[in-house]
Structure 1
Amino acid sequence: MFTQKDLTQLTARGMAPERVEEQLEAFRTGFPYLAIDRAAVVGDGIRKLDAEKAAELAVLYGKSVCRLSVEKFVPASGAASRMFKELYEYAGENKASATVEAVLSGLEKFAFYEDLAALDIPMKDPKAVVSAIVGGSPAEGTGLGLGKKPKGLIKFHKYTGGGRTAMEEHLVEVALYGGSPARIHFTVSPEHMDDFKALVNERLEAFSSKYGVEYEITYSVQEPSTDTIAVNPDNTPFREGDAAAGEILFRPGGHGALIENLNRIDADLIFIKTVDNVVPDHLKGDTVLYKKALAAVALELQQQVFSYLKAIDGGAGKAGDAAFAAEVRQFIEEKLCYRFPAGAEPTLAELRRVLDRPLRVCGMVRNEGEPGGGPFWAETSLGMPGALSLQIAESSQIDPAVREKLMGGGTHFNPVDLVCAVRDFKGNKFDLTQYIDKKTGFISEKSKDGRSLKAQELPGLWNGAMADWNTVFVEVPITTFAPVKTVADLLRPQHQ
């Protein structure tokens, strides 16, 4: 299958031939749909906190954070081009839309308006304005070039003294719940790394002084070794240029590849949030409160897990102590939301195996029509056949024959609001790459240079890449969720 030239290419990319062969086999066989049992709802897979309990948990976290290593992980390599898709269409093809009309009529409400108005462009010419927003060069004064920037470097919110980018909002947010030093890690595309670092260096001292914290900021890129092979329609490797002898085409493996980056984070607790889900300061209260509450839930569960594991390894339950085994099973089923098959009698070793793995507590918001994956009970690849655990599933992972029924029964969706506990009871880091369900990737049809190809995405970071974690869902208020998928979303009340 691979020539010597191919093998040299793989070596240069840090890719094992066996791994690429696995990807080719996935193209040939496809990825199975998840075996979903039902949607998770409040009282059946989703825990609901009242305001008093959330506040109590936040206090508990506040007392614990000083002895913990805490870090925030923000995938920030995504480009903003899709955010400005309709503006590009208007600038290039004069194609009007509701989004374009909203942008032009609400121009002064955008945090980047002052930068736009400072350009030497005819501000009363709609096409010139739109073209200057998405294109041009800030250095030459011909445009803001926002369509070429990553989302993290787009100004989202207005403040006295200037606008604040999404990346800066994350710096502020982590200062409010991350302890000191406030540690945050951004995954960034290589071409934008210098711009990220420059803005951080420019703003860091002011934020450090204002919030009374020291920052530790780190960055990483999505490694070429996590790319996936592209194939022709017949599932043979797609080669660039010469279709017979050209170099094999590899494509980024999607955000699931970031499990490798996450695996390198050395912390007790890791907060994960998408780069575009931030709110201005006057709306951060709920976000901070529930971040602390989710972390406290994780700490409470982890403490009990560790207690059981130490007891098991110390000999508890091995002398036929059925009561102890029953207690552990009840905890696993009721608190960790892992359901053994009906009639099953798990051994102590099987109970231990379920306990001893990474833990994530995921916020879930009420579904108000936003796009995104949802919370479900699904058959798990870890443990007994037929066992159920909680999973975050995208619609593409659900069999179309039952998709409407299953998703119609759901009440919540995934805002990507996670707190991860990634150490075992002995204090060692889990190897997160050992808890991926490799059967949960995605295949899509693309084209390059006029030729059709098939592309493969790795299991999504909060989907298949964390499928074998202990997973707990907690309802969080919609006020904690304010994603920016199009530029017009910045005109919503939660961004003003």
Structure 2
Amino acid sequence: MDALLKEKIIGQGMSPGPVEEQINNFKNGFPFLTITAPATPVDGIKVMTEEELNHFVETYPMNAASIDVVKFVPASGAASRMFKDLFAFLDGDGDLSKSAFVQKFIDKIEKFAFYDDLNAVLENKGTSISDCLDRKDYKEIVAFLLLDDGLGYGNLPKGLLKFHSYPDGRRTPAYEHLVEGMQYAVGHGNTVQIHFTVSPEHEIKFKEEVNGIIAQLESLTGLKFKVTYSEQKRATNTIAVTMENEPFLEEDGTILFRPAGHGALLENLNDISADLIFIKNIDNVVPDRLKPETKKYKMAIGGLLLEIQAKVFAALEELNREFSQDTVDQAQKVFTEDLGAKLPESFDDKTMVEKANFLKGKLNRPIRVCGMVKNTGEPGGGPFWILEDDGSQSLQILETAQIDLEDPESKKHMMASTHFNPVDLVCGTKDYKGKDFDLLEYRDMKTGFITEKSKSGRDLKALELPGLWNGSMSGWNTLFVEVPLITFNPVKTVNDLLRDEHQ
């Protein structure tokens, strides 16, 4: 890296070392991971019995009451992608017959929870939704929904849009996450702790929304709420390059740095000190009538983690006390049976001390339990067994970009995959001595993503850090549990709100 480029990077508040590594990643690409098999209910995905579910529903609340539980909700970014088809319609000639998506949106307009708000805005301008429909002025309806002189939904984050209708009002995803948090994220001190990652331009509106809800919920339930916020750190932005892998320069000569995907939120997660952390995306919420199933399975994965973690801690404490055949056997049993991990073929050739050290290194890591739903064609990372450098095999969530589809064996494993990841995680981020792990040490930086974008009409290549639940958690101990599809109800487009689950 030449001195002039280094000076420019420092001048923009970034660090030359990581930037140079990022440029090398653009030049060299990222290696594919070696898949040994898909994780399935036969091997790698636990399917709980009714007895096990009932056990955790009973024991989890008692265990959670004495620890710090946090619900971590990635909620950054505007909802503009939800309205992609509506923006295209707004830029077009207003012919409804050209877009089945917009036709459906208009036909079902009264079913959206934001209908009354949208109508009120139009009435302030001397018209109404019904007037617009009579005039066939569909563009005016869409414009007042999306643009800032109306509801401004095109520039708001998903967390602040009206998603669900109730007899006593309308709820945003932020509201629903608070209500859902009362059902399984109640920890020490009868406190519900929720952490939202938000964009700086949306933080004030988020706080205004949440603070009003908290007062009401605390009054109704007697619970205490502790809601915190963080922004994606600027230092996690990655450099953009031209198609020739040279730094992409803006018109004013500055280097373009871009947000590095949800993997950048590992830094935010790392700043949270708690005994148990649930992770769930902002748009995966349902009305109250569907929450019981979500609550049951959240308790199930939380309860399973606490029980397995207790066994891991006990094994580590014994290894810490002494290396003996008994302590090694106990640690091996926890690793292979309770965690379900796979030892390298060379393990039996190791000495007892080597086995003890190997198992201690494997067990003393962050732990996560991830819900997996049956694959119905929805986009999302899949669960696989991966061959590690030390010969062991671990469970990982992979995106398609990490799989070598030119390799017949890898493609066969991908085609045999039965489940996908709905971002339904619970994490244990403290070690057996009660100290927080440094989560950055368990990230695999070789699992980033390169995507092609454009800026000001020019093509560029962008770099995403290892995904938060993909390579960012590569070094964690992982368990997969099958959860029902009804617990996964994301809203990717505005018309998803018309599905029965959101009505």
Asked whether the 8 Å contact 1:134–1:145 carries over to 2, the reply is yes
Letter matched to residue 10 of structure 1? I
Moved more, 345-354 or 95-104: 95-104
* Deviations 1:349-375, CA, capped at 9 Å, x for gaps: 001100000000000111122111111
Alignment of structure 1 residues 365-404 onto 2, 5 Å? 365-380=373-388, 384=390, 386-401=391-406, 402=408, 404=411
Structure 1 SS opposite 2:183: helix
Runs of 4+, deviation exceeding 4 Å? none
Letter matched to residue 84 of structure 1? F
Shift of 1:334: 2.6
Letter matched to residue 34 of structure 2? A
Structure 2 SS opposite 1:123: helix
- What is residue 104 of structure 2 aligned with on the other side? 102
Q: Give me the whole-angstrom Cα distance separating, in 2, the residues matched to 1:50 and 1:114.
A: 44
Shift of 1:186: 0.4
- What is residue 257 of structure 2 aligned with on the other side? 250
- What is residue 132 of structure 2 aligned with on the other side? 123
Q: Which residue of the other structure, out of 236, 241, 246, is the alignment partner of 1:231?
A: 241
Shift of 1:407: 2.5
Matched residues, number: 480
Asked whether the 8 Å contact 2:280–2:423 carries over to 1, the reply is yes
Moved more, 117-126 or 28-37: 117-126
Q: Which residue of the other structure, out of 181, 190, 197, is the alignment partner of 2:200?
A: 190
Q: Give me the whole-angstrom Cα distance separating, in 2, the residues matched to 1:335 and 1:43.
A: 15
Q: Give me the whole-angstrom Cα distance separating, in 2, the residues matched to 1:277 and 1:420.
A: 18
Structure 1 SS opposite 2:345: coil
Asked whether the 8 Å contact 1:155–1:165 carries over to 2, the reply is yes
Alignment of structure 1 residues 158-173 onto 2, 5 Å? 158-173=165-180
Q: Give me the whole-angstrom Cα distance separating, in 1, the residues matched to 2:288 and 2:309.
A: 31
Shift of 1:43: 2.6
Does 1:432 find its partner at 2:439?
Answer: yes
- What is residue 366 of structure 2 aligned with on the other side? 358
Which stretches in structure 2 are left out of the alignment for 5+ residues? none
- What is residue 140 of structure 1 aligned with on the other side? none
Asked whether the 8 Å contact 1:155–1:164 carries over to 2, the reply is yes
Alignment of structure 1 residues 14-29 onto 2, 5 Å? 15-29=14-28
Q: Give me the whole-angstrom Cα distance separating, in 1, the residues matched to 2:382 and 2:214.
A: 36
Letter matched to residue 338 of structure 1? A
Q: Give me the whole-angstrom Cα distance separating, in 2, the residues matched to 1:5 and 1:408.
A: 45
Structure 1 SS opposite 2:445: coil
Query: TM-score by structure 1 length?
Result: 0.93
Letter matched to residue 378 of structure 1? I
Query: TM-score by structure 2 length?
Result: 0.92
- What is residue 7 of structure 1 aligned with on the other side? 7
Alignment of structure 1 residues 87-98 onto 2, 5 Å? 87-93=86-92, 94=94, 96-98=98-100
Q: Give me the whole-angstrom Cα distance separating, in 2, the residues matched to 1:439 and 1:237.
A: 21
Letter matched to residue 7 of structure 2? L
Shift of 1:75: 0.4
* Deviations 1:84-133, CA, capped at 9 Å, x for gaps: 10111112113632321221121111110111122234331322212222
Asked whether the 8 Å contact 2:315–2:334 carries over to 1, the reply is no
Asked whether the 8 Å contact 1:6–1:247 carries over to 2, the reply is no
Alignment of structure 1 residues 206-217 onto 2, 5 Å? 206-217=216-227
Moved more, 325-334 or 167-176: 325-334
Asked whether the 8 Å contact 2:71–2:185 carries over to 1, the reply is yes
Letter matched to residue 364 of structure 1? M
* Deviations 1:154-182, CA, capped at 9 Å, x for gaps: 11100122210011100111111111210
User: What's the Cα RMSD here?
Assistant: 1.6
Which stretches in structure 1 are left out of the alignment for 5+ residues? 138-142
Shift of 1:56: 1.1
Q: Give me the whole-angstrom Cα distance separating, in 2, the residues matched to 1:216 and 1:379.
A: 41
Does 1:220 find its partner at 2:230?
Answer: yes
Structure 1 SS opposite 2:202: helix
Shift of 1:210: 2.5
Structure 2 SS opposite 1:392: strand
In terms of fraction of residues, the more helix-rich structure is 2
- What is residue 464 of structure 2 aligned with on the other side? 457
1:414/1:103 Cα in 2 relative to 1: closer, same or farther (>3 Å)? Answer: same
Q: Give me the whole-angstrom Cα distance separating, in 2, the residues matched to 1:286 and 1:70.
A: 20
Shift of 1:239: 1.5
Q: Give me the whole-angstrom Cα distance separating, in 2, the residues matched to 1:356 and 1:5.
A: 41
Q: Give me the whole-angstrom Cα distance separating, in 1, the residues matched to 2:340 and 2:86.
A: 45
- What is residue 276 of structure 1 aligned with on the other side? 283
Letter matched to residue 302 of structure 1? Q
